[in-house]
Structure 1
Amino acid sequence: MKYYFDGELAQFFGHQISLIYPEFPRNSFIKGVNNLVKELELKERVAVISKELHKALGLPYVDAIGILKQMLGPENKTEQGMFANGYFLMPIAHYVEVYGLNDFDVSMDALYEITKRHTSEYAIRPYLLHYEQEMLEKLRIWAIDENAHVRRLVSEGTRPRLPWAKRIDVLSDDPYMNLSLLEPLITDHSKYVQKSVGNHLNDLSKTYKEETIEWIKKMHKLHGKNINWTVKHGLRSLIKVNDQDALAFMHRVGE
């Protein structure tokens, strides 16, 4: 997939941006990307395109992201992730991640729109570190959003062990803060969201086993077998190593 992020994608970006911002130096942008990506892996290629966009646009962040948002395209109506839909938007999400930290509200609006088409699970993580309280308020609103991709972002973006991302500790150094964000999502009707919640619980169980199992028991008392699939997915690492507490719980609930 890394070869998708090369001069051909730069040509696409150059064409699309020029339709919105005719002053965009598309040729030098394409040349810059072509010259820099050849020996790089996927994540580094995405970062190069993001950096070259920043250099070529040469605009204040608010103006630049305003242009980039106009090329996002239609929302992803499927329950498929970033490797099936919208992956050309990875450099734009990275742009917000790197260049938008000083413009919280503008960046949150951008990430909200990006995640409905691709994902913002990586781009959101620096904001969790820099604006924890503001992010908690935003995430609690997004957790009840009508869009499944936005709801999934609440779980996926805050995962302590998100693949491909730098590990982060739980919010406010308290696993129950993460679990509180998962509470409205534990009964989500979307399998896409359920899987993310299970993955998040699995992450937490590796460091905060007792707290995770205690919370799962509490949720099961409230919601019963409706959440069995999600919690089994969340306890899978403990089950794999024959953890007796996890096995006893799953046996009790009939799984």
Structure 2
Amino acid sequence: MSKVQKNSIVIKDLFKSYDGKANENVIQEINLEIPRGEFFILLGPSGCGKSTLLNIIAGFISKSGGDFFIQNKEVRGPGKERAMVFQQPDAALFPWLNVRENVEFGLKMQKVSKVERNSISDKYLRLVGLSDHEKKLPEELSGGMKQRVQLARVLANDPEILLMDEPFGALDAQTRRTIQQELIRIWTHTKKTIIFVTHDIQEAILLGQRIGIMSKGPGSFIEAIYDITLPYPRDITAPSFNDIYRKVQSHFEGNGMAENVVNF
């Protein structure tokens, strides 16, 4: 294994098979290195194994073979340096706790003092724009606000790596665009490493520094990586943006996957 930057993610020849048969892998030959602080996108058609790979990185499911390292240490399960942001925030929030209590929940479990918990939750409630809603219960929030609460709670626990599994897929278009812009602002502020799963080409180009495109499943692998060097914030109407969009779209069309990705 080559020497890598501290806190980077290194995956070598990773595969996953649910029945133990190598010729029936869900994903295979995954080779990837993500440096610290990068915003990396996993893009591909539905059912290609993006979420499977993300859940292996999270430690929620085990790999069947290959190597997986974070900060040059082999990973065998979940760790506090990683945190997942799910597509459905209702599954992650406690309905009987208000916004602030949800954000502070992990800190409370770690026995962080009330004064320090309040200071940390203040910081992240401001960061996600929810300072005026701290006493509301999840049922009183919109979908976008719930997703902000989930993000604030994850950030409050200060993981090095954010894993995001199509987190904006259930939001309406306007809310989605707003939250995308907020995520870029938060990432720029925190310098966290982000691995973001989507099947939306526009979203991938809008957010990511690099885009890893997965092939059709089963037996999916990362068949191409695109470097996106456009400055932030990105303008989806700019010619340079649309040039990249057409290039990525042509990749899917050339591989018979265009019907399974989102296009605008």
Q: TM-score when scaled to structure 2?
A: 0.29
Q: Counting strand residues as a fraction of each chain, which structure ranks higher?
A: 2
Q: Counting helix residues as a fraction of each chain, which structure ranks higher?
A: 1
Q: Which structure's relative contact order is higher, taking Cα pairs within 8 Å and 6+ residues apart?
A: 2
Q: TM-score when scaled to structure 1?
A: 0.29
Q: Larger radius of gyration, structure 1 or 2?
A: 1
